[in-house]
Structure 1
């Protein structure tokens, strides 16, 4: 477990060793040395920034409590709202801003072992337990890196990049491999929606990788639609859960005409060969040309949610499907179409979707917040006991920024992460930010802001978010490294919540 402290405060600790908590409460200490590994000149390991043994603002008395200046005891962790909040008040390794909101920076940063210009490492991220997969495939300057990277956490809690880079078998080269990724257990799925095969340009494909007993990952299957067509964009979104893979194909003609979109569902054949076969094509009865159904997708247990952000002049919508029998998927009988209660044209509702149990999160990154254009919003929906689905909340950032595109989402139990990759920390900077919302008494509220420690213009921190257990990943595909533009990076927050 690592906690971040501002370097300036660590310096004060060295200069003022005589200061201490009045009750002599033991304080954790750390050498503050860089414990990360280096690969080709890039820091690919975890970074430990150290802890102080002095009771100045921000000193830790215990991993779960904080010691504030002028107090003789250690207070419960969190922002002390009963006293004036200061910029150096600790909140689980971060600080409090003037309003009492927790603000925290990363505990580590990852980069690709073979990083190159325009890779956009971190364009998509996924994590499950001790394994994470990072996509590299954003079409910056029309260049696709066509790769994905796996990181593994050892028994000591340290993360490292697994030897070997995931790449597609020949036909998908240059097809945007890595722009969508997901992982469950020992299975990784990676979309390449620009792949062409036979005479179908940009039909798309999805690649399945499995982890062997020796710990290496190898491609085991390439999935394509049973009816591939040009411009289908199969693989624009992918999700895996409970032995099923959902694949969005937002350019598919569906049952109406061009770009209505649909979702394909693949199921483990149950023969012990770990082979997936197509079992369903999910369409909607009220679909129209240009809806883009399948632009986003998620799966949980026997339910699939899919976004259609271009529906109704980009006002957007989303649909919920259920598995009623093995191999049989249909629109939710109680009504599958979901819309924002205050939706407006060009909001892009459905650009990102997330599903966990009875709770759904759907983002509209181009929604206005008051007079703030394209600030973004996230809508929470709940499935009721009668199987109807109702909107319960509209979430926005506490500090909405114009063009922030608040909307990349990850939903895990009572925690919701939201990225705003074009948030301006200074004018027109697009440095980005992420937010953690926590649910209590049935409602989500903003709990803390997540920043990069040393942000730079164009980072796009928050373009992708993921979480598992106490670990959160924030993708920043616009990070410049080694004098190269848009190399990209992923930032780790651990622990992400109390």
Structure 2
């Protein structure tokens, strides 16, 4: 047989996700898995378009002036620069840098020659590739999972090869600590910044291959794969991740992660099964002689890095105390529950050594001074009894602590009743303690208004400010909704929750909450959380198969036993209503979704500890049940009054029976999820979790998410540029893809003296830091055509749709400068300012005519194209008159004219000619440009009309059906368009904002699509279900983001609307109105 040379294709990939940053980013709303149900009212094609545009745009690569490339990772809060060797990543917060460079590729002992920088890189949206010779392609893909790196090797020089080896050198200051299955990258203090693990390899048939990391000289590392018998391509996939937390003294059955809590940059994790005999703070945790005495661990974040700060034990550690079964934190105070503690003490700081009341329970308060923790108080119930399990749940807010004792037997109802009446077994109770000048005292003894035997009131508790919520998962009434009749036992173990409020030191019950679909054994109240006026209640035994959040109550079939649910309640004044019924996008029977809940502002996290997919990380594939009871958590976000699932969280080392989601906590955009049956023997932060050598030791995982907010300027903070220059009153600001921002601001300080009190800034430079571009009265001598002594006076009309292509107009003054030549169009390229056009300069494409006014500037989102509307100086010699002195120029980013039509006096495509251009123009994909001009018919008066045209050719314009005097669809009968105020659009359609004639004054402005249908109208209700009568009063601005997707900033009017809450940002999507944010809402972060 003739020998045949086979060409083998070898693919090697690695996925890097953020260290100490959020480990996943969401699409605008909902999940993007095509197998999952779509949000209500959104078509599959529109949904795909929304997701694709959103994700690709914000993860796209951009070309830099020096020939390198960059990409933002908004999900991970980092920025990466790519050069001819490899990449270098820097976080938004923190002073570390990290990157890898491929140094060599070898098959057995044969090396493949690498040629660096021999081929220009190719960019295709969010994918960048570069060829290194010898058939070797290096490529990167930037998406919401992280930054994926890979190599494709087209030729294998050794038939029958056994070992493939890639050698990588490390860039930046982090040092690799190499193990066979994980590499930890450490800073100078030995802290793990990120890990490079989860290493897998497989061939083209899906067969797993042996693969490992190994050390190399000079701090390098290698990936080695056994490729014997493999059919190419072969894939190698390590994952870089941060914030995998383990105890410093990991031990079997410690159950680290059974409870979690977080406040800002400090978190605490409980391990009630921990067995050391240590006491107090930072004792010797190496022993195991005190079974299930329990412990808690404190971690702090600095510069994006988590480190353990303290190891907490009870001052009276005892066997089976379960210290750490519940934890809570507020600022510098931590509360830890020990429901199995046995003393007979009562009140505060009693005799903790009298162990005569088994499992009466206790709570311990720790405080931090600087970075040192100490125990401040030892709390007991006022009516200590054996088996009450005081401390099974705890909560803290400021100077107030609430403690649950679900096994307490008191029969008194209400507040501060007779706590010696033990005639109602396991009714349950909660206790409130307050601190004054460092001293704690019990303030209240809380019971349900109608306590019941076996209700387990106090199973979970939570507090926010002056409000407490208490869960009673086995409460038995058949009431539904808020404040129903709870005086019956016709709904066995349906569950309930109770809200208490404090006024002038006195507590009262404000609400009795039940599910809108309350049913037997749902265990509503198994988990509770509260943040301001929002409360969340879990019902892990709820049985419906609903597959999405539902904001309108409905009757649901109970065909998924113990699938679970969560319910959101919202308070207006003193009235509570159920706002949302939350379900995962893919519910399954037995998941126990709702076992744990947490809320912070407009975010909710829900745990489902028995969920069973083998997915890892964020938004993985949940369409399997390959890892029974591995567990998961789900993140929901509120936009206006609507809730959406935005993330599906799994462990980085998902394993069967780990029960991730048993405990969840949330503070701002940081979530902690516990998996108390995780079994690795790792210790500390970011150890090796890929083993099961310590069954039941437990772990916790940190996720951060939400809007990627960075502070660019802050009033009275130092500004870059001049010495003694500080930010003042904010001006116009714009931001584009890649978090590139351009903004104008007032400035103060000596550097702003002599009237130099305004400036323009951007972060387009190589470092990503904010730089001063131009300050008022800056000299512009010799810039473009400007004369000596010219100075800038104002800066406005900012645009920044593209990375490193910020644009603005400036007004200048000086000798020879007047109102006909005092406007300059500048471009910021990240290194220096480039003047593109100036009024008063000739435009050859307009026959040498000179613009004397620049009206409005538009920039394409991706193409090298700008739209600039103008008015020309009248010049009889050039034929410029009042009949043809306005129009639209299309420029590239070098300022060169690429199109000079349309112009006043030209045919308008509708049988007439263009009159005066009003200066409203926009440019979008397609390629399309939209503008408004007067239309002068053959006969009759001129009217406003909107048009679109191509910006890449001098093609004939196309008029909209929206025009002055035309009947306005969707408005009052007989109403016609009057004035066209603005136009916008995309490749699919154009839109127009217009006022009306013949319509009521409360509904005489709106937004229409180019073919005529109405999109939005004044007088439209924004909350028809929850706040009827709150309507759009006036439009401020709007943006078209799709064929039927509009963003609008509006003024509101109606009941409860005042100056502090009268503006909103609305999204119209498929004719469905969503409130994204409103003044007066809690800000994220």
Tell me if both proteins adopt one fold, taking TM over 0.5 as the criterion: yes
Picking from 86, 89, 93, the partner of 2:183 is: 86
Change over 3 Å in CA distance of 1:299–1:67 after alignment to 2: closer
Contact 1:137 1:178 in 2 (8 A): yes
Picking from 456, 464, 471, the partner of 1:233 is: 456
SS at match of 1:107: strand
Contact 2:175 2:185 in 1 (8 A): no
The normalised TM-score by structure 2 is 0.32
Partner of 2:426: 202
Deviations along 1:273-308, whole A, 9 cap, x unmatched?
A: x12111110112311011111110000111110000
Picking from 294, 311, 329, the partner of 2:576 is: 329
Distance, in Å, in 2 between the alignment partners of 1:292 and 1:139 is 26
Distance, in Å, in 2 between the alignment partners of 1:178 and 1:100 is 38
SS at match of 1:379: strand
Partner of 1:477: none
Contact 1:79 1:85 in 2 (8 A): no
SS at match of 1:170: coil
Distance, in Å, in 2 between the alignment partners of 1:110 and 1:377 is 28
Distance, in Å, in 1 between the alignment partners of 2:565 and 2:175 is 37
Q: Kindly indicate whether residue 381 of structure 2 is the aligned counterpart of residue 168 of structure 1.
A: yes
Distance, in Å, in 2 between the alignment partners of 1:197 and 1:139 is 20
Distance, in Å, in 1 between the alignment partners of 2:175 and 2:541 is 41
Partner of 2:240: 100
Report how far residue 266 of structure 1 moved. 0.4
Distance, in Å, in 2 between the alignment partners of 1:138 and 1:295 is 20
Partner of 1:399: 653
Partner of 2:500: 266
Report how far residue 339 of structure 1 moved. 1.0
Contact 1:296 1:353 in 2 (8 A): yes
Alignment of 1:41-56 (within 5 A): none
Q: Kindly indicate whether residue 705 of structure 2 is the aligned counterpart of residue 439 of structure 1.
A: yes
Alignment of 1:13-162 (within 5 A): 64-65=95-96, 75=172, 86-87=183-184, 89-90=186-187, 93-94=191-192, 96-98=195-197, 99-102=239-242, 106-137=308-339, 144-154=359-369, 156-162=370-376
Report how far residue 416 of structure 1 moved. 1.0
SS at match of 2:518: coil
Distance, in Å, in 1 between the alignment partners of 2:428 and 2:567 is 22
Contact 2:341 2:362 in 1 (8 A): no
Distance, in Å, in 2 between the alignment partners of 1:406 and 1:172 is 33
Change over 3 Å in CA distance of 1:436–1:79 after alignment to 2: farther
Picking from 294, 301, 313, the partner of 2:532 is: 301
Partner of 2:223: none
Distance, in Å, in 1 between the alignment partners of 2:424 and 2:642 is 39
Deviations along 1:345-401, whole A, 9 cap, x unmatched?
A: 11000000011111111010000014001000111111122x121212211112101
SS at match of 2:395: strand
Change over 3 Å in CA distance of 1:346–1:168 after alignment to 2: same
Distance, in Å, in 2 between the alignment partners of 1:194 and 1:200 is 10
Number of equivalent positions? 367
Change over 3 Å in CA distance of 1:67–1:351 after alignment to 2: closer
Deviations along 1:57-103, whole A, 9 cap, x unmatched?
A: xxxxxx84479999x999477999xxx97335349822624332235
SS at match of 1:394: strand
Report how far residue 440 of structure 1 moved. 5.5
SS at match of 1:121: coil
Partner of 1:39: none
Distance, in Å, in 2 between the alignment partners of 1:226 and 1:78 is 60
Distance, in Å, in 1 between the alignment partners of 2:470 and 2:175 is 40
Deviations along 1:320-347, whole A, 9 cap, x unmatched?
A: 1111222x21211xxx211111111110
Change over 3 Å in CA distance of 1:190–1:74 after alignment to 2: farther
Report how far residue 424 of structure 1 moved. 1.2
Contact 2:309 2:371 in 1 (8 A): no
Picking from 582, 605, 627, the partner of 1:372 is: 627
Distance, in Å, in 2 between the alignment partners of 1:355 and 1:111 is 28
Distance, in Å, in 1 between the alignment partners of 2:455 and 2:506 is 23
Change over 3 Å in CA distance of 1:341–1:171 after alignment to 2: same
Report how far residue 439 of structure 1 moved. 1.3
Change over 3 Å in CA distance of 1:388–1:146 after alignment to 2: same
Deviations along 1:408-439, whole A, 9 cap, x unmatched?
A: 11111111111111001125611111111121
Contact 2:459 2:526 in 1 (8 A): yes
Change over 3 Å in CA distance of 1:219–1:440 after alignment to 2: closer
Report how far residue 212 of structure 1 moved. 1.9
Partner of 1:461: none
Change over 3 Å in CA distance of 1:115–1:357 after alignment to 2: same
Partner of 2:695: 429
Contact 1:65 1:74 in 2 (8 A): no
Looking at CA atoms only, which structure, 1 or 2, has the larger radius of gyration? 2
Change over 3 Å in CA distance of 1:285–1:104 after alignment to 2: closer
Report how far residue 192 of structure 1 moved. 0.2
The normalised TM-score by structure 1 is 0.68
SS at match of 2:590: coil
SS at match of 2:468: strand
Q: Kindly indicate whether residue 425 of structure 2 is the aligned counterpart of residue 186 of structure 1.
A: no
Deviations along 1:239-268, whole A, 9 cap, x unmatched?
A: 111310000111111325111111100011
Report how far residue 219 of structure 1 moved. 1.2
Deviations along 1:423-475, whole A, 9 cap, x unmatched?
A: 011256111111111216579xxxxxxxxxxxxxxxxxxxxxxxxxxxxxxxx
Distance, in Å, in 2 between the alignment partners of 1:302 and 1:169 is 30
Partner of 2:673: 418
Distance, in Å, in 2 between the alignment partners of 1:240 and 1:79 is 43
- Structure 2 unmatched ranges of 5 or more: 1-93, 102-168, 198-238, 247-307, 343-356, 412-422, 480-489, 544-560, 614-623, 681-691, 710-1085
Distance, in Å, in 2 between the alignment partners of 1:114 and 1:237 is 25
SS at match of 1:304: strand
Contact 1:355 1:361 in 2 (8 A): yes
Alignment of 1:465-480 (within 5 A): none
Partner of 2:470: 247
Distance, in Å, in 2 between the alignment partners of 1:169 and 1:364 is 35
Picking from 580, 585, 602, the partner of 1:358 is: 602
Distance, in Å, in 2 between the alignment partners of 1:235 and 1:434 is 25
Partner of 1:317: 565
Deviations along 1:196-235, whole A, 9 cap, x unmatched?
A: 013211001000011122x121112111111011011111
Contact 1:172 1:205 in 2 (8 A): no
* Alignment RMSD: 3.2
Contact 2:310 2:373 in 1 (8 A): no
Contact 1:85 1:100 in 2 (8 A): no
